[in-house]
Structures are given as structure tokens and as C-alpha cells.
Structure 1
Amino acid sequence: MNVSIIETSGLGDRSYLITHDDIAVVVDPQRDIDRVLSLAHDSKVRITHVLETHLHNDYVTGGLELSRTVDAEYVVPAGDDVRYARRAVSDGDIIDAGPIRLEVMHTPGHTHHHVSYVLRDDADEVLGVFTGGSMLFGTTGRTDLISPDDTEELTRAQFLSVRRLAAQLPPETPVYPTHGFGSFCSATPASGDESTIGEQRRDNPALTQDEQSFVEELLAGLSAYPSYYAHMGAINSEGPPPVDLTPPQPIDPTELRRRLEAGEWVVDLRNRTAFAAGHIRGTLGFELSGSFVSYFGWLYEWDAPVTLIGETPDQIADAKRELVRIGVDRLTGAAAGDMDELRDGSALGSYPVVDFTRLAHEREAKSVEVLDVRQNHEYGAEHIPDALNVPLHELPTRLHEVPSSTVWVHCASGYRSSIAASFLDRAGRDVVLVDDEFDNAVKLGLTVTDDGQGSD
């Protein structure tokens, strides 16, 4: 028996291909199913079953299309309201794929109907458990995605579900979660790249705390999550349309200018320092790197047409793959190449890029307006005195709160602040991007903690 991991690092998720002999089972596939099909082809296996642990809130599933493409049985938790044919499974059901057997365990918490799948061989030995958004590495799935009225109930259910997994499975059982590798579906950041039930008994707060302490700590730690989550459950319930990974239609500089003048979303994928050094005025800078799709989806005006600008066609293709995973399908054009050619004779926009050392020097010499675009809990823990805190995802509707003078914008690493700087620049504001680690601001003594004390 072999378990192959299919990473989707931009969303902090994993899918799995379980194989034995020439048979395969897939768990929680992402929408771009070509990765799964390629792995199955290379492994010389036939996919007979496609399993979902829950109706996903952070991505569009590829399960329905994959099951139809390979003529596999599609397995979805009973109780999830879907508009397509599937096998609805409940606690204790067995998925029999010949040499691969999976037992369904109802593990509510992340959602009401969430299930885990216990992998067994033909001798009934436990070989692993696929926990979806239940037991993660050193944490659990968040419990506030259904509704505020359900959050405490689901948090208590999550506590019991993780305890049930730990009680019923051997300590050496490998744990295979879907979320927890940077996903906003984690209640708190996960730790580690692999784990077992035994390790989780020592490390997971659902297994080291009493129920009330677990509930209070989880609820207190829940932070904001991307707004595009509101659309994912509905798309997955209706049945996602087939994925389209063909390149967006190329557009010329004249059409690019027309779209910018019309106020459309035109997104530059280049490195944030390259964008700052020279970009077509009116574009938004979303560097195509680790957090791209989460923050794009968080700020995106849902169903608005999107034009992509990149250095190469491959960069645009990579961005499209990321975006279709969260259902951004209105990619209406793209332009690749040198900015001098794409600008069509118009002047390029630019703004300075600095570090916290430069900010510290400026603050010594004069008053400086600082915008902190981290989330509220990050700001509350430690921040630069007098900095205005507007979390990135709130910035488009709170631009009027930002001072009209030059603003120095920062976050924890430079990624979120680079997006914020591009929004401010598009709005005609003078901006300085602080592209630096916040730890350096702490080391420089620029910050105060939540008790008002300065950092040493």
C-alpha cells in the first residue's frame, strides 16, 4: 500500500492518491485534476473511488469531474446537500476498493457532516487515517465557517471527534490531513510535515486540554478568513463546472489600456520590487508566490473580469491554475513581455521600496505616517506606535481612512504590504513600501507590545 501526497502549497492543502497493485483511491482532490491523472498514469493504476472528507470551503473540488472522467465512484458525506449523484456515506460505512479498504468515521467539527477515512489492508490492519479538517498536525480545523450560531457547537464536536480518532486508532497510525500547511482552514497554525496518532496525543490541544479550555482557546484564537470562502461551499454543492486550464486570450497594449481606463482588474504578477520599480499605472500588484491565491481571492470583486500581466506565458499559466482552484474563471485576457512594450508609450508608475532600518531613520528625523496592514490580532500583540492599522482585506473599502500624505506601508514580511501599496498607488496616493520582516522592526526598537511597553 502506498500513499502519495499531492501538495497545493498556495492554499495550504494536500490531496492523496492511495495505491495498491493496479487500484487507486483519491482523497480530497483539487480542481486541477490533471495532476492526479498524471500521477495515476505514471503509477499505472486505475482510480476506482474518489472521496471527499467534507464540502470544502477553501477551494473548488475536483472530485466530481475526476470521478466522471475516470468513471469512479464519488463518495461524499451523507448530510451534505449536493445537486449531483454520489454515494452518501455515514459512520461505519466501508469503501471497498479491492485491496484498499476505508472505514468512514463521522468526525464533525470543521463542518457538521465531516468524515474521516481509516485506511485498512485486506487483513484489517490500520495503515493510516485521512482526517480532512478534523485532526491536523498540532491543531484542528477551524469551526466558524458554517455560521456564528454553530461555531461553539462545532468546536465542542471537534474536540470530541479528535478524541475519538485518538482513542480508536493505534498510536503508530499515520495521520493524513487535508488542511494545515498554511491553510486558513486551520484554527491555529499547524506544525510539522508528518505525524502519527501517538504524536498527536502528546501535541494536539484537543488531546492535551480539557474540553472547556480547548473551546475557549480555539474561539479566542479565530481570526479573519478569506472572503472567497463564502462562494466555495455553494459551488461545491451545485457541482463545479469542468476546469479550463487553456491560456487566457492574448491582448495588445491598446486593449490593455482600454481595460485599465474602464476600471477593470488588471493584475501584474511580477516580483513586488519589480512592480514597485516600474508598472503600468492602474494595475494591481499581486506577486505570484506562496500566498498569491489566498490574498487575491480575499480582495477580488467576485465574478469581475480579470486580465493578467506577466513576464512570461508560463507565469500567466501558473497564475491561472492557482485562480481556477478557487473558482476565479473570468480570466478574460493576458499580456506577457517587457513593460516598455506593454505600456504603449505611457509613463510607468513607481514608488520607493525600503526596509525597517530606513523607516527608523526617517522617524528620527520627522513625522512619518505608517500603515500596518496586518490583521488586528497581529497589530494588537505588537506594533509601531501611532501606526494606522487597516488589515489588507479591509483596505479597498477603507482607503478614505488612510492619510493623504505619503504613507509607509508594512506587514509581517512585505507580501501583504506590497499588495496594499499597489492599491494605494492605483488610488493616486504617495506610498513607500516597507519590504522587510517585522522581526527587524522589533530588533530596532520600533515597536511596542500589547501592554504598551517598548521592545528591547
Structure 2
Amino acid sequence: MKIEQIYTGCLAQGAYYIVSDGEAAIIDPLRETQPYLERLQKDNVKLKYIFETHFHADFVSGHVDLSKKTNAPIVYGPTAQPEFEAIIVEDNQIFEIGKIKIKVLHTPGHTMESSCFLLIDENGKEKALFSGDTLFLGDVGRPDLAQKAENMTQEDLAGLLYESLYKKIFPLDDDIIVYPAHGAGSACGKNMQKETIDTLGNQKKTNYAFNQNSKESFIKAITDGLLPPPEYFGMNVTLNKKGYESYDEVFSKGLKALSPEEFEEIAEHSGALILDSRNNDIFAEGFVPQSINIGLNGDFAPWVGALIVDVKQPILLVTEEDKEEETLKRLSRVGFDNVLGFLKGGFQAWKENNKEIDTVHRISASQFETEIKNKDITIIDVRKDSEYQSEHVDEAFNKPLAYINDWINELNSEEHFYLHCAGGYRSMMAASILQARGYRNFTEIEGGFAAIANTEVFKTNFVCQTKVFPYIK
């Protein structure tokens, strides 16, 4: 028997590849199927089942394409109603893969169809729990994603999750290995540990959800402090439930090289968004006007979903050399399939053709230190609230990047402000969105808070006090 966790850091997502005696199962595969097909071929095994723990919200699963390419059936938990052929199981149903067995544990709460898969080895021992979004390491799945579809409150779903955890999972043996669907960084939970594998016994000791003294306290603990989910989540659920265009077709369509003239023509007449996936320091020096910068070197796909919102939005790509395929792959993982092509030769070709260029006004932290002395200034910190509360520049206002579409209209375009995040990745995203929407009276700080904190004037000038945003038109 072999269990392989295939962990994708950009999405903080874990897929699982299981092999026993010439047969295999895959749990929660990502959109691109080739890595799984290569494993099956290398191991000379047949894919028998594709298990889905639930209808995922934060990424588009590869279940539909993988089933078409291998003829392996897709398996969902009770109550699931996909709009494609699938096996809808009963609670405690058993599936055989080679010499091992997979037992379905229906665990509603995160969503109604959510299920965990308990692996029983060739000796009949319960060995591993593939817990999906029901149980994370240090956390549990948020109970607010399915409430509208099910006509339930998040408290109702949290109550179901309590029953699932305490009646289905807690009684299992402590030495069972927990393999969750997500780790730290995922928006599907709020308190995940950085580890991606643990024993159930350790989770019983360390996971706050397992250490509540009542159902009421459990519901309060897991619903307290939940931030609104990214808006693309609902659209990804729909794709996972209804099916989607073939990944191969999406890839072929999007991998269309466009000359600067073709790129410019399409940009002007298609309503396409120009997405520049280059590093923020390179982007700052020059870019195609109206471009939005979301660097491929960070949490690219989740930020695309959070900031662009509509998965059907036409997109034109500007990438670093030979990064077109990687950019397309990551976009497809979150359902952004309407890519019209990419700028052939990248931004260098755009410059060489004497096309219009824009830049962001960026200064170093030391220059920022010099500029603000004895001045009445405004600073906007686009980090998460938790980062801001931990430590921030005195008098800075916290406006998290994730909610820029909500707060951008509060800005007064006539008032200058300084903009920063932790290291420059998020503040450049914010800067590009601001400029694309006509706001230019600001200065972005290179290196972000990390660089600012090392300047002399700020080493003792941090507070933990939330400020009210002053710019209301």
C-alpha cells in the first residue's frame, strides 16, 4: 500500500493518491490531470475510484476530466446532487481498492454532502482518515459556505459539524493519521496549523474544536471571527457541481501568442482585463496601462479569485518569459478559463514597439522615513487585520487588500497617501488596481512593513490601535 499526499502550496490544498495491489484511488484531485495520469502509468495501476470529499469552493477539482480519461467513477457522499454521472454513497459504505478498503463517513457541517474517507489496511486496521474540509489540523471547515443553498444558518451547519466531529471522528483511534484537504493559508478555515499531516490523537489534544465543553461553545468558537469568503467561492462550487470545459481545451485556447498590435486591439475592444503576473518589483518599473499585477511568485490563484471576482471575465496575460503555461494552469485551478491569449515577447516586446507605458510611484523605506518627517500624512496598510493588530506604523489605517473592491470608493483622489503591505506583494496589487481605476495620488513603499520597521524613526513607533479610515468623499 502507498499513500502520497500531493500538496499544492499556492492553494494550500492536499490531494491524495492511494495504491494497493494494482489498483488506485485519488481523493480531491486538482484541475490538471496529467500528474495523476503519469503516476498511474509509472506504477502500472488502474484508477478504480475518484473520491470527492465535497463540492469544493476554493478550487476547481479535476474529477470530471480525470473520470473521462480513465473511466474511473466519481464518488460523492450522501445528499450530493452533481449534474454529471457519479456514485452517491450511503453512510458507512465500503469501497475496495486492491487489498485495502475505504469506508465513507458522512460528516455534514462544512457542507451537507461533506464526507470523510477512512482507510482500512490489508490487516483490517483503520489506518488513515482523509478528512476533507470537515477536519483540518488545528481547525475545522467553516460552516458558512453552504447556508444559502441549504436554507440554513451558519449556526445550524456548525451544530451539524459538532455532531459529525464528536460522533463520527472523535471515537476513532488516536493513532489514525489525519490527511486534511487544506493547510495554513487556505480561506476554508481560520486557525490552521502549518503542518499537513498529524495523528488524530494529537488533534484531539491541540485542536480547539475538539476541546469545547458544550455544543453551544463549539458553535460560538467556530463561527466567531469568520471573515466573508471570497466571492469566487460560489462560482467554483457551481463548476464542481455542474461540470466544466475540458482543461485541455481551456489551455489550448488561452495559450495563444499575441503580437503587441493584436494584444492592444483585443484589449481595446473586448473588455478584457490585463493581468500581469510578473514580480512586483519588475512591474513597478513599467507595465501595460490598466494592467492588474498579481505576482505568480505568491498566492496567485487565491488572489485572482479574491480580486477579479467573476470567473467569466475575459483576461489577457502579460507574464515573465516562459511563464505563460504556469500562469494559465494556476488560473484554471480557480475556474478563470476565459483567457484570450498572452503578450508574445512579454513586456519587453511592448516597449520595443514603442507602446504606451505606465509606472507606479514607488519609494524605498528610507526615503519614506525622510519624506514623512514633520508632515501630516496618511498611511494605508493593506495587510490583514490580524497582521495590523500585531504591529503597525503609528497613525496608519488598516484597509485589507481582500476588500479593496469595497473600500476603494471611499478614497478622495485629491488627498495623497502612502501605501504598504508586509513586503510589497499585496501593496503592488492594490497600487495597480488603484491606478486602473483612476487613483494616482499615492506612493507605494518598497519592501513594505518589514522594511519600514527597520528604519530608525519607526523602531519605537508602533502601536496596536485600530484607526477609523478618514477619506470619505
Cα distance in structure 1, aligned partners of 2:212 and 2:451:
34
Q: Identify the residue that residue 79 of structure 1 maps to in structure 2.
A: 79
| Matched-pair contact (CA < 8 Å) for 1:111–1:154 | yes
Could you list the runs of 5+ residues in structure 1 that have no partner in the other structure?
Answer: none
Are 1:219 and 2:223 matched, yes or no? yes
Q: State the 1:126 CA deviation.
A: 1.3
What pairs up with 1:429-444 in 2 under 5 angstroms? Answer: 429-436=440-447, 438=449, 444=459
Q: Identify the residue that residue 200 of structure 1 maps to in structure 2.
A: 203
Query: 1:154/1:440 Cα in 2 relative to 1: closer, same or farther (>3 Å)?
Result: farther
Cα distance in structure 2, aligned partners of 1:43 and 1:290:
33
Q: State the 1:154 CA deviation.
A: 1.7
What pairs up with 1:170-185 in 2 under 5 angstroms? Answer: 170-185=173-188
Q: Identify the residue that residue 257 of structure 1 maps to in structure 2.
A: 264
Q: 2:464 aligns with which of 444, 449, 453?
A: 449
Which stretch shows the higher mean deviation, 262-271 or 383-392?
A: 383-392
Q: State the 1:67 CA deviation.
A: 1.8
| Matched-pair contact (CA < 8 Å) for 1:380–1:449 | yes
Cα distance in structure 1, aligned partners of 2:134 and 2:309:
31
Cα distance in structure 1, aligned partners of 2:401 and 2:298:
16
Q: Residues 113-151 of structure 1, C-alpha deviation per residue, up to 9 Å, x if partnerless?
A: 211010012321112110000111111111111126421
Which stretch shows the higher mean deviation, 238-247 or 49-58?
A: 238-247
Cα distance in structure 1, aligned partners of 2:182 and 2:217:
23
What pairs up with 1:155-304 in 2 under 5 angstroms? Answer: 155-211=158-214, 212-244=216-248, 245-246=251-252, 248-262=255-269, 264-302=272-310, 303-304=312-313
Cα distance in structure 1, aligned partners of 2:236 and 2:346:
35
Q: Identify the residue that residue 425 of structure 1 maps to in structure 2.
A: 435
SS at match of 1:41: helix
Are 1:326 and 2:334 matched, yes or no? yes
Query: 1:276/1:449 Cα in 2 relative to 1: closer, same or farther (>3 Å)?
Result: same
- Aligned AA for 1:420? A
Cα distance in structure 2, aligned partners of 1:346 and 1:202:
60
What pairs up with 1:391-430 in 2 under 5 angstroms? Answer: 391-396=400-405, 398-404=407-413, 405-428=415-438, 429-430=440-441
| Matched-pair contact (CA < 8 Å) for 2:133–2:180 | yes
What pairs up with 1:307-318 in 2 under 5 angstroms? Answer: 307-312=316-321, 314-318=322-326
Q: State the 1:297 CA deviation.
A: 1.2
| Matched-pair contact (CA < 8 Å) for 1:273–1:353 | no
Cα distance in structure 2, aligned partners of 1:7 and 1:53:
16
Which stretch shows the higher mean deviation, 212-221 or 70-79?
A: 212-221
| Matched-pair contact (CA < 8 Å) for 1:61–1:240 | no
Cα distance in structure 2, aligned partners of 1:451 and 1:185:
26
Cα distance in structure 2, aligned partners of 1:167 and 1:327:
35
Query: 1:331/1:198 Cα in 2 relative to 1: closer, same or farther (>3 Å)?
Result: same
Cα distance in structure 1, aligned partners of 2:433 and 2:123:
59
Cα distance in structure 1, aligned partners of 2:90 and 2:286:
56
Which stretch shows the higher mean deviation, 378-387 or 420-429?
A: 378-387
Q: 2:349 aligns with which of 341, 356, 367?
A: 341
Are 1:387 and 2:396 matched, yes or no? yes
Q: TM-score scaled by structure 1?
A: 0.92
Cα distance in structure 2, aligned partners of 1:224 and 1:356:
32
Matched residue pairs, number? 451
Query: 1:346/1:369 Cα in 2 relative to 1: closer, same or farther (>3 Å)?
Result: farther
Which stretch shows the higher mean deviation, 236-245 or 356-365?
A: 356-365
Q: Residues 139-185 of structure 1, C-alpha deviation per residue, up to 9 Å, x if partnerless?
A: 11111111264211222222332333543322111111112242111
Could you list the runs of 5+ residues in structure 2 that have no partner in the other structure?
Answer: 468-473
| Matched-pair contact (CA < 8 Å) for 2:258–2:344 | no
Query: 1:141/1:99 Cα in 2 relative to 1: closer, same or farther (>3 Å)?
Result: same
Q: TM-score scaled by structure 2?
A: 0.89
Cα distance in structure 2, aligned partners of 1:202 and 1:358:
49
Q: State the 1:437 CA deviation.
A: 5.3
Cα distance in structure 1, aligned partners of 2:192 and 2:366:
29
Which stretch shows the higher mean deviation, 257-266 or 55-64?
A: 257-266
Q: State the 1:202 CA deviation.
A: 1.2
| Matched-pair contact (CA < 8 Å) for 2:78–2:106 | no
Cα distance in structure 1, aligned partners of 2:452 and 2:229:
26
Q: Identify the residue that residue 111 of structure 1 maps to in structure 2.
A: 111
Which stretch shows the higher mean deviation, 260-269 or 123-132?
A: 260-269
- Aligned AA for 2:261? T
- Aligned AA for 1:431? F
Query: 1:336/1:265 Cα in 2 relative to 1: closer, same or farther (>3 Å)?
Result: same
| Aligned CA-pair RMSD | 2.3
Q: Identify the residue that residue 380 of structure 2 maps to in structure 1.
A: 371
Cα distance in structure 2, aligned partners of 1:228 and 1:136:
22
- Aligned AA for 2:88? A
